Amino acid sequence: MESPSGVSPHTTIMDNKVVERFFSKVDIRDDDDDECWNWLCGKVSRGYAQFYFDGGRMLAHQFSYEYFHQEKIPDENIVRHNCHNPSCVNPRHLELGTHQDNMDDMVREGRQGKQSGIDHHNAFLTQEIADSIRDDYSTGEYTQTDLGYIYGVSQKHISDIVIGKYW
């Protein structure tokens, strides 16, 4: 398989069918080295991409690092995103480092705070929708369970919006 962007792939660690399946889940819009290659499928907490193969799973950016750098990730290291995009698998955006290096990056970039509302990585509601939820609830015509069904979220999430915990 020819690799995108002229990056030399590692062909001995990964089976070609696995590699093809991996790339079928990646959005590579063009050969711009600076652009993120975003993962299009399953993600775990905080938006990190995951890839299932050989009966197990691996974070997709780790798979990409091992594939393109032709080496296993040393136990004392982690793969860091220098683009700060957890769903990116562009090998040019990935580098080895320590957990402390990653924490230092997080503080330097101001990403250590707890995010809520539209700033949360899993948010799909908007401020306007949250305001509508509060308005609908205040009429007394709807229960929190009703609103959860209408807006596609849990009753607990509706409760948190109504009491102002979120949004």
User: 0.85 cut: is pTM over it?
Assistant: no
pLDDT greater than 70 at residue 122: no
Looking at residue 104, its pLDDT comes to 84
> Are the C-beta atoms of 119 and 127 separated by less than 8 Å?
no
Looking at residue 53, its pLDDT comes to 81
Distance CA 38, CA 72 (A): 22
The position carrying tokens 């660690």 is 13
Looking at residue 12, its pLDDT comes to 42
Nearest 5 degrees, angle CA 28-CA 103-CA 34?
A: 25
- The residue with greater pLDDT, 70 or 116, is 70
- CATH: 3.90.320, 3.90.75, 3.40.1000, 2.30.29. Which one for 4-108? 3.90.75
pLDDT greater than 60 at residue 11: no
Domains of the chain, by residue range, sit at 4-108, 117-162
- The residue with greater pLDDT, 126 or 19, is 19
- Chain segment 36-63, per-residue pLDDT in tens: 999 888 777 778 888 888 788 889 999 9
Mean pLDDT value across residues 104-115: 69
Cα torsion 56, 60, 65, 70 to 10°: value is: 40
Distance CA 40, CA 88 (A): 10
> Based on the number of CB atoms within 10 Å of its own CB, is 153 exposed (0-12), middle (13-18) or buried (19 or more)?
middle
